[in-house]
Every structure is written in structure tokens, then in C-alpha cells.
Structure 1
């Protein structure tokens, strides 16, 4: 909500203004009043309003002097002067001080509403300009906590060349990377009716829950490892292996960890995963080869050749589908049509010189890429099916028999996605929304508010709430509650903690309040869930 402060030494004017302003209709709230400029400065400093409505003639300090002080202090809000007819001579001075409007008393309700709506539009425009001006600062701030994760993703997918100049292994970890062997485990979340119909909120909750389970297991069983989320329903684990450990022993341990991960995900999330393993590599620069081997291992499980027929999978690792998926996903996320087209063209050229490429493999690629498109768009609040309401995907895919047909199909889809009128409204907010989602999952046990987000992202809390709800369909507060409730359910299922301990672990100091929220969310009280578990 936009915060409005009113300053006037006439009590009747103050009361009349409070009644005349259509607070709810313009999404505004009254944050205070003052009777002179000096008191007004104090109130402005305390309440930090977005809009100040002020008289000129007032005791102690008049309105124009107060406005001069505010301008000297770089007050970011909008200023509206409301004064008597005889004060019109001051309009020129008011304009010099860059006030938003100058209204003469008495003012009608319609005039007041029109001016406030205009000023609020100006505030919204300033927010957009500020966001664009702060883009570099925001990107640096956003990427700081994820810089290492992005470097890991670039290494595991083979796209690290473009990062290498600035993001080589940190000096503190070079021993860790240079003097160990490495192996990648590919993880594929199996498609079911349940996962196909997930909302964006539920998908994110499942994604974080899956990551938490895997990371907890790795912490216990193989601390020297890294978990990396990839595109759509794929993820990977990078195992760093002491060179003194026999390869057979390491592989046996890693397979045991994979089995444990699959069992825990099925037990706690009722989801099935498949696991593929790459080969052990001595150099970190070769880790992406292990990734491709792991996912080709998974692909062998997906496309099973008929008895007596050769495999429909390409044997040459040069086509590197995981690197292709990652680069194309990034281009789709940021609506870079030309870049996406170049990535597709380069990949198709590789496919065209491969003698073992079959229609079955090309059609499999179509299905995988459609899923990646859906996930990439979903992450910024766009539903892929809504962009293609007339598409009949199975029929389209069945007609793709050659790499050239795949190229034509992909480029047509990418063009429609990139030129969609929905895209420009959402893509530029993706980084802020991603940061807020990650922050909720990292800090759910603490006191978290939009005010915290506002300070970190250099955007107003009102604007943040708008873009978060537009992207996810939920307010940030509701999303945080869902994250906390999912974690509380997981803790109750473990059966290791008392209810008051769980309440504290998910950010609630008041146990009865936690219990009421939990029952509203799940339909059961925490004690009932504990007994049933």
C-alpha cells in the first residue's frame, strides 16, 4: 500500500481529508498527520510516507520551508500542496521545488482522487526507473549468494568456458578441486499425473523439499559433494573422491547413496526418481563429460530398443544434450530469441552429421525440450499451454522425423514464446522473484518480512508484493507460510521433536498460533499429525 501523510494546522481540513480520500480504491493507507512543518518533518522521518499532502501557511515552519528541507535531504516521495486561493502566488515557488501538484481549497472529492491517482502512477513509474537504474547493483547483489552455485552449474553442464575468466575455483578450494577425482550422478524426477498438474507454488515446494532431502543425505554420507539443480525435472550430484580410495569402493558407496535418496524421496514426497551414473574423471574440467554420461545412462532407460534392433541412442558424446538443454533454458528464461535460435542451429548441425540419430531420439528430444520450455516459463509465472492453446503436442511430435524438422519446430515455438505480450511483463522481474523464493526457503525459521526484501532488493515492499504475486499467484506472506508448513509436516513425520520445538524451528514463537495456522493449512492439528505418523 502507498503511505500518505497529511500536514495542515486546520483540524477540520485534516479530518475532512481523511474522510474524502478513497483509501481502499487507490491502495493507500493513512500513516499520520501533523499541524506544522517542523512536526511534519519529524513525522516524515518516522513514517517514511510515499505521498505528503501539505498546507503552506502553518505556524512554526511553513509548508514551503519544510519542502525545501525535504528536497535538501533527497526525500524520495511525492509532494502535493493543498492551500487557499490567496496562496496561488506561491505556485511558481512550489513548481521550483518540484511538487507533484498544487490544489486550491476547497477541493472536491473527484479532484482529490484524480490527483492522487496521477501521483501514484508517477510513483509506479519511478519504481520502474529506479529498478532499471539499479540493475547492475541488483544483479551483483543477487548473484553474490548464488555465484558459487552458478559456477558449479557451469562446470557440471560444460558451459564453464564463458565463466572461466572470472569464476575459476576459489583459491581456498583449489586443493579440493585439483587433487580429487570427480563423478556425476544424474537425477530425473519421473513424470506422473501428480507432477504434471502442479501449480507453480507446489512445484517450487516440491523442488526445495527434494533438494533438502538430498542435501541432508549428502551431509551425512558424502560431505565432499555438490548438489546442483538443472532444468525442469533434472538435477545432478557432483561427488569429489579421494584419489587414494579404490574406484570400485567409491562406486559402491555412491550407488548406496543413490538408493537411499530414491527411497527417502518416495517415502517423504511420494515421488519416484531415476538415477544414472557417469564415469570417474581426474580433472575438474572433464566433469561435464561425466554429466553427459550420467544422463545418457538415464536416457538408455527411457528409450529401450526393440529386441534384435540397435539402440536408437547416439553413441557419440559430442552432441552433449545436457549442455544444450542448459544453454537453451537460459536463453528462454531471459527471452533471448536470437541467442536461442543460434543454440538450436548449432545443435542441429551436430545432429545432422550423426549417422545414428533416429526419429525416436528426435521425438524424445522434442518432449524433453517442451518440458524445459514449460519449466522455464513457469518460473516467471507464464503457463506454456496458454501460449499455445491450439497446439496438439503428440501429433506435432510424431511428425518430426529429421533434424531439419526438429529445427523448424523449435524455432517456431521459440519465436512465439519470445514475442508473447506476456513475456516482457514478467521476465525482467524474474531475478527479484527468484531471490525472494530462495530467501523464504533459507530464512523460514527467522522473522521474515517484505521490509527485509525491500532493503535487499532496493525496491519498495508494495512493488515487490505486486511482482511476486503476479509471478507466483501468491503473496509473499502466504508463500512463506506454505514453506513453513511443509517443513513443519516434515519435522512431525520424523517424530523427533516436540510441537513447541517444531514451532520454533519454523519461525513461530507462539505455539497456539502455530497450531491454528497448521490446522488451517493441513486440516489437522500438529498433535493429530504426530499421532497418525
Structure 2
């Protein structure tokens, strides 16, 4: 049903038109005897169509049309004219206001029915168009986040022109402009965040936290935010004056970090990139922001890493940590001692992070991981099975996106699991005997031990034990003893505290010349050359 308004100063005409309309579809029909009354009705009621006389007292039909079209809610009202004046000038004027028909009095029932159906067709088409527009707007709003994300990807990949940038910016109603900008990457620390470490529905929680962060950032002046992964939001900051407004931007980030930590128990890391001249250079700022996030490996999580405040990485102290120490303790099935050795070193980084180069630490951790996996493969020969059980692709492990606490937690778990795997594998008596022999060699390498003394200590015959050791290690017992002695000798040579004859004695060689021959055979250079 539609709401009709019949406006005519002659009552019998109004009644006649209203009666015909109601008889067709029982629509609601209101009446007015002049334009002023009609305008008041339209202010109070939602009118769909008006059938209007031209000449009326107070406000005539043409004046009514002028005023009615000023109302926003009446611009789509369908209007038809009933007039007793067959004058072209009247018809021309009313048609300029969107009138759909002009019928002369006296009229017949058929004339009113024609007007009615013409009006109804217009109203139906209008409603259909309104629905299509509403559906289009809804679909547009539904895909807008995807368009926004694609827009940001195009920016950081340099796949957008200035013209296209302006077009997309206006469509998405963004703050970003063609002026200097900086990118900040807000990363949710999924390992250290308490909220995300105590539940099985982490994906849902993470999605909600991301939504909260984006809602907060969207209220910041001069900022646009883009979701670039499941736990990172990119904030593009485009203020009027970067240097003057920077303290307010930093303050907003600090408040965000504190709010997420205190209220939601979520730890954030924020990397801020360098300033670039315009959005078409955004990749440069994005890359430097991403690089700044890597410094959580030195300084820990829950901080702001501003590109311009990062320490100079050109001159750093050499790394003093030897992964061999950890590997040896793992091999000896002393996981807690291995973990403590690594933790002590990580604590030294925490206490003086400025001394270390972040890339060097990444390489050291990668080496430690590789050494652990090599040991596991040698001892158990089931590396693939072990990796599958860990639920993590250890071969593609990337320490550049982890904090120092995440690294410690990762290696603590890995070391314990490797020790457990190795010990399970050593239940085999032969392997266990070789393992015990290696322990004896490590403990007594500086004494006159040999295959016979070791076999006797383990209650094996000399020949059988020699064969067993060779089968498990690919080496003869004496070869392995010499290998361990030379490894220890290399450590003493590096310290430069002892003469060569002293080192030979300290590692179990009674003859310095024999020591030199064995050293060169294993290492490829003489002890003197190695020391240099």
C-alpha cells in the first residue's frame, strides 16, 4: 500500500479521486484544499504520491512543487497534475519539476486509473532501484576491508600510480595523503601473551584482539590501519607535521601497549619505520619498520622499536658463546645443564643488548639449531619423525621474528625433547655401551686410555667392543680418542696460555711429535699454524 495525497480546492474532485484510488487497491489517501495545507501534511506524513491541481488559493500548485522539492524526504515523491487549464506554459513549468503526467479536467475514472498505475509503476521502480542501491552499498561495505587490504599491498609492492592512489584513498575514506608518512607495525606476541597461552581457542581470541587494536587505532588522528597478517596491524601515520606531532603518535602507541597488557594480558611489539616523502615510497618505511621489530631478539617484547633510535650495529663485540658446549651436554643427557648454559648466555644479552649485533645472534641461534638436529640425526637416525612430532617445521625456523624470551622458550623445549629422544634410542644395549664408552673418553681423554681399558671397564672383550664401536660410529676407538683429544687441544690453543708440549700433555699425548702428526692429520694444519 502507498500513501497518496490529493490536493485540490474543490472538495467533490478530491473525494472523487480518493474514491477511485481506494477502489483499485485500498491505498491510504489524504486530502488537502490548498498547497499550504499539503505542505504541512507532508511534513508530518510519509507521502509516496501527490495528485495536484494547479490553481488553488494561498499556495498554488506550481509554488507547492517548488517548496516540496526543497524537502529531502520528498524528492522521490511521484506527482501527477489535474488541471482545468490547457496551457502549454503550465505544462512546461510543472514538467520541469518531475511531474509524470498532466491530465485535464473534467476527467473520467479511466483517466485516474491510468494516472494511478503510472504512479505505482514509478514507485515500484523507485523501490527496486533503492533496493539495488542498498544491496550494492552493502556488498561494497562487505568487500571494503578486502579492497583496503589490497590497496595497502599494492602500496608496499609499488604497484599503484598516484592517480589510482587518490581514487582509492577517496573511495576508502582514508587519512593518508600525498605528503610525508611513517609506518608502524603493531605485532601481537602470540607466545608471551598470557591471554593466548592459556586457551585452545587461540584463533578466535587472536581475531578479537586484532579487531580491538584496529578499533583503537582507527580513533587516532592522521592514522589508517591495515591488517597484514593474523597478528600484525600496519599503522600508516600521515600527520600535518611529522616532527611536531611525533610525541603524540608515540604516546598513543605507549597507551595502546599498556592498555593491551593491563586489560587483555596481551603483549605488543611495535616497529616504527623511517619517514618517506609520500605514500608511493611507503615500502621503504614498511621494510624499515619490519626490520626494527627484529630487535626484540636483543631487547625483549612489549616495547617500541623506532628505526631512528636503534643502536649502531656496525661495531659490536664478537660472540663468545660456543654451541659445542650445549651439544656436548645434550649428548651426555644433561638437558638442564645445557639449558642453563644457553640461558646464561641469553641473560648476558639481556643485561647488555647494545653490545651485540642482532644478525650475529640470529646466525648463532640458527647454528645451534642445526647442531642440535645433526646430533639427533647421528644418534637416532629419525630426524623426519622427530620434526613431525614437534608440530613445527624446524628446518625453516626463522629467529628474525622472535623475541629473546621466545627463543629461550623454544630451545628449552627442544633440548628436553632431543634428550628424551636420544635416551629412548639408547635403550638398545649396543648403542648404550658406545654411549658409555664416549662418556668415559670425555672424562679420561687426558689419561692413557685405549680400547682395551674401556672394554674392560664395560665388561666386554676387546675385539667385540672394538667391532661394536666401529659399527655404531664408523670409527675405531683409538681414532675417536684422538679426535676428542684434538678437539680439546684446539680449545687450549685458542686460549694462547700454554706451550705446545704442555698442551700435548694436558690432552693425553706423551710425545709432542706424535701429537703434532695426529693434529695435522685431523685438522689439516700443524698446531703452530692453527694457533696463528
TM-score normalised to the size of structure 2?
Answer: 0.31
Higher RCO structure (Cα 8 Å, ≥6 apart): 1
